[in-house]
Chains A and B, each alone.
Chain A
Amino acid sequence: MKRKNYFTFVVTLVLCLALLAGCADKPSKPTDTAPIKLGGIGPLTGGAAVYGIAVANGAKIAVDEINALGGIQFELNFQDDEHDAEKSVNAYNVLKDWGMQILVGTVTTDPCIAVAAESYKDRIFTLTPSASSPEVVKGKDNTFQMCFSDPYQGIVSAQYIQEKKLGSKIAIIYNNADAYSTGIYEKFVSEAEARNLEVVSTTTFTNDTASDFSVQLSEAQNAGADLVFLPIYYEPSSLILAQAKAMNYAPKFFGVDGMDGILEMENFDTTLAEGVMLLTPFAADAQDERTASFVKKYKELHNDVPNQFAADGYDVVYAIYEALKDKDVTAETPASELCTQLIEIFTNDKFVFSGLTGDNMVWSKNGEVAKPPKGMFIENGVYVGMD
């Protein structure tokens, strides 16, 4: 027994010396090339995977571009959360163990609410590309949004419809099982009322009943609606457009950013979407140089046309880069210190960011972004600016 203890002691001593030796070997100052660790979280599998994959791809392109420039280097580690709040928090913990310094995420709203509560406690700066509910940023000084918040979209949509005189009798079909859809709907209705727009029919559906819309469309038609507002995603929208055509009902359709993606649906009959209007921050066929180069790169790498989410992911990484590029930060800067610095920069009036999803973006103290929406309508299967 005694011998064994002695042996343990020697081994421990040797190991301790080795540890000290290791310390001596390490450079006292980290080199400039050590990358800052960006964690990303979003659904890469499951029903909402289309959004997570797009954000991850977009962010990756931005990281590669920035790293090629020299200067600040980023390393992106993107984890799957299957659009599930619990799995999202697990993914967050995995990233924290990995040494994440800044969080790009999460992509979807419900998981983001859960994760932002954690990152607020841990003081890790969080910039979500696409979680649009006001709940995401509420009461958390470290969480910021790259996308429009839901209420803002509702208000702007009502403004747009009234100012451009797009319709006098409005029907609304929304998903009452979805925070995004109801969030926009509520603000739209109150703004419409304030602007004397007449809402003649309001019908709902849920994720489980998102296949047959004949009843909702009949109601809108019987009420004489000349504009149908669709604050929903593009999958049910595509069904609504097809069913409206089958029943010979041709009002104007007005969507929000969730409508984006409808033209990229494989085998979609784009004539169905002819004349559909939507407010979206990003259009893949915009002619400016930056968008064109991003779309080209994305197509080469992923054989797909990027949607708004890919652009959001790209912008998030660039916004962080713009904020940090002149600062003295390294891979060794603690996350909490980065957090304090970034909050200061993002809430500073002088910090104005222009990206793929909008020019001259500024952030408010509560973390919401302000940027001009772009009104688009679909003509011959492509987006055309309304203004």
Chain B
Amino acid sequence: MDFLSYLISGISLGSIYAIIALGYTMVYGIARMLNFAHGDVIMVGGYMSFMATTRFGWHPLLSVIFAMIICTVLGIVIEQLAYKPLRAAPSLAVLITAIGVSYLLQNAALLLWSANPKSFSSVVPFDSLRLFNGKLIISGTTIVSIFVCVIIIMTLNTIVNKTKIGKAMRAVSEDKDAAQLMGVSVNRTISITFAIGSALAAVAGVLLCSAYPILMPTTGAMPGIKAFTAAVFGGIGSIPGAFLGGILLGIIEILGKAYISTQLSDAIVFAVLIIILIVKPTGLLGKKVLVKV
């Protein structure tokens, strides 16, 4: 019974990692850049929902939509101001810019909302589920995060594989210049990718803060790094890979803590990552990219 309850905690944590990892993986897969500010967009999403519910007294569901809208706009603005001018620059320059944006967001949050942590009230209205005479308790937030994660994966897969904009995304990810020649607007496609990624970040932020109800300017930093690891683990650029990587990372983290050592949980997670990358350098579901010389 303990094992089952640990497993569920792991899946719950993993599904949040997965939603964040999707943002990383989409942006990387299409724009070929690592958007390190993604974790901080999550934090902004959390604060937006917090402000909407506590300061304006809005309904939690409305606050989630509000957070998604603000984060979408924020994502597009960041892309236009910070990343678009660097489209032709070496990827290292973009990476450093992304780290800069990450710090900018953290410090802006510090100015706006101060360093005092805020306690987040869960937006999930359901009570915990009690099974086996109350021996196994599954919280409402856990059920919702798993559910939301699955819906998002399915929607994204449909968008990327079935729609016109999805086709454009795939074209840009294959070859930017060729896509441009075929009449695909590369800039617009990348902007839309950022918009989707940032909206996902808002959802992830709200779920993260509902599961672990504390909100600080640095709230997004560590989950962001873990989710990035999850994206690499699953094969960066692959949507199902981000899902698989996120869930596995969550499970390994919790089970490692429970059965091996609470002190070494992160060491275990990253050791598994290293082993996977040695055996399969592109990650679990990553595509092999042939580079012509």
Contacts and interface: CB of A to CB of B under 8 A. Distances in A.
A238 interface: yes
Given A45-B110, A49-B110, A206-B266, 5 more contacts: A47-B217, A47-B218, A208-B222, A239-B212, A268-B119
Interface in A197-230: 203-206, 208-209, 211-212, 214-216, 218-219, 222
Contacts of A222: 2
Contacts of B90: none
A248 B134 contact: yes
Given A205-B262, A212-B254, A248-B137, A269 B119 contact: yes
Nearest to B121: A267
A376 to B, nearest CB: 20
B194 interface: no
A214 B115 CA distance: 26
B280 interface: no
A53 interface: yes
A46 interface: yes
Given A45-B107, A47-B216, A238-B214, A247 B137 contact: yes
Nearest to A205: B262
B119 A267 contact: yes
A387 interface: no
B50 interface: yes
A265 interface: yes
Nearest to B226: A208
B116 A50 contact: yes
B54 interface: yes
A49 B115 contact: yes
Interface string B108-152: 001000111111110000001000001001010000000000000
Contacts of B285: none
Interface in A163-205: 176, 203-205
Given A208-B222, A218-B5, A246-B137, A176 B119 contact: no
Contacts of A219: 258
Given A47-B115, A204-B263, A218 B2 contact: yes
A235 interface: yes
Instruction: Determine the interface band of chain A, counting residues with CB < 8 A from chain B.
Output: 35 or more
Contacts of A176: 263
A216 B265 CA distance: 12
Q: Which of A176, A204, A212, A218 has the most CB of B within 10 A?
A: A212
B128 A46 contact: no
B9 interface: yes
Contacts of B134: 248
Nearest to B139: A246
Interface string B24-65: 000000000000000000000000001000100000000000
Contacts of B116: 50, 264-266, 304
B213 A238 contact: yes
A304 B121 CA distance: 21
Interface in B224-264: 253-254, 257-258, 262-263
Interface residues of B, number: 37
Contact of B115 (A53, A218, A246): A53
Contacts of A209: 253, 257, 265-266
A352 interface: no
A242 interface: yes
A215 B262 contact: yes
A203 to B, nearest CB: 5
Contacts of B9: 212, 214-215
B6 interface: yes
Interface in A358-382: none
Nearest to A216: B262
A50 B115 CA distance: 6
Contacts of B266: 206, 208-209
Interface string A30-65: 000000000000000111111001000000000000
B13 interface: yes
B16 to A, nearest CB: 10
Interface string A292-317: 00000000000010000000000000
6 contacts: A209-B253, A211-B222, A215-B6, A235-B214, A238-B119, A242-B213
Contacts of B54: 266-267
B258 A215 contact: yes
Interface in B269-292: none
B128 A265 contact: no
A215 B257 contact: yes
A71 to B, nearest CB: 35
Interface in A253-277: 264-269
Contacts of A218: 2, 5-6, 258
A246 B136 CA distance: 11
Nearest to A249: B137
Nearest to B130: A248
Nearest to B107: A45
A206 B261 CA distance: 12
A126 to B, nearest CB: 25
A204 B262 contact: yes
Contacts of A267: 50, 54, 118-121
A203 B223 CA distance: 21
Nearest to B141: A246
Contacts of B223: 211
B175 to A, nearest CB: 38
A265 B6 contact: no
- Best-buried of B9, B128, B134 by chain A (most CB within 10 Å): B9
A235 B216 contact: yes
A212 B6 CA distance: 11
A93 to B, nearest CB: 24
A215 to B, nearest CB: 4
Contacts of B254: 212, 214-215
A170 B29 CA distance: 50
Contact of A265 (B2, B5, B119): B119
A248 B6 CA distance: 15
B116 to A, nearest CB: 5
Contacts of B110: 45-46, 49
Contacts of A211: 212, 214, 222-223
- Closest 8 interchain pairs by CB? A49-B115, A268-B119, A211-B212, A266-B118, A215-B257, A214-B9, A203-B262, A215-B258
